[in-house]
Amino acid sequence: MGIPRTYRPDVDVFIGGIKMTKEEKKLFVDDIMDNIRQDIMGKLDKIPDYWSGRELRMYIVERTAEIKMPVSLVEKRRYQADVINNDL
């Protein structure tokens, strides 16, 4: 990959309001999604055979919802406004 890895997964980039470049955002999302993917793939043997894509989607949503971090009310409101205003 031609993107230099300047993103540091050991540092929470949101606390303190550190701005991220577009490339750092891409790396951040890639790292989180890779961790979730690896976690779920490591548990495939435990997932019931009768599960379809519906159950797997619910499981993926629950696994991503488990990622929590402290957020102030101001940050949450700003985030919600950005999601609405930018049609995310």
List, in sequence order, the alpha helices (H) in 11-66.
Answer: 22-41, 53-65
pLDDT of residue 53: 94
d(CA 23, CA 11): 16
The model's pTM: 0.61
CB 59 within 8 A of CB 36: no
Q: What is the C-alpha separation between 65 and 26, in angstroms, rounded?
A: 20
The span from the CA of 40 to the CA of 26, in Å, is: 21
The pLDDT, as a whole number, for residue 10 is: 53
Q: Is the pLDDT of residue 1 over 90?
A: no
